[in-house]
Amino acid sequence: MVELFRGKLRYIGHGCITTKAETPRGERLLFIYDSLTELLKIHEPAEAAMENLYFGKNITSAMAVAEARGVILLALSARGLPVLELTPHAIKQAVVGVSRADKRQIQEMVRLLLALPDIPKPDHAADALGAAICAAHLSKKMVCTP
């Protein structure tokens, strides 16, 4: 989670909602929904950003990711939050300045832009913070003052 304050990015926090692989899928999705709903109540964000899905070769894992993403969108929409959906290229461009940056470059730039002592872990957290940074840049560009 990041905040754009007086034109500067400010790190709020990050984390990862994890579930056990042996837990039935429906229970896992409910846990994700309940956990995210609780975090939204605590932090009260004004908007959210998500990376668009990229379907690779593994259709089975893509389906599970799509289901989890749907639950996340539901939780965000239930709170009335606008959700900015971003392409991986847009996120890379906003964070690194190059739309074909590799994962390590993104992680290091997220660390630098948010003045963190270490690269956020797990990798998904750095990706999510990258999406938040991109959204903050886009929000800043959309705000116009006379």
Pick the CATH number of 2-142 from 3.40.50.150, 3.30.420.10, 3.90.79.10, 3.40.50.1000: 3.30.420.10
> Is 88 in contact with 52 (CB distance < 8 Å)?
yes
Helix runs in 80-122, H state only: 88-95, 103-113
Which residues does 90 contact at the CB level (< 8 Å), separation at least 6?
A: 99, 134
* pLDDT one-digit tens code per residue, 62-108: 888 899 999 999 999 999 999 999 999 999 999 999 888 998 999 99
Indicate yes or no: pTM above 0.95: no
pLDDT digits (tens, 9 = 90+) for 12-69: 999 999 999 999 999 999 999 999 999 999 999 999 999 987 766 667 778 888 999 9
Reported in sequence order, the residue ranges of the chain that DSSP labels E, i.e. its strands, are 2-5, 8-11, 48-51, 83-86
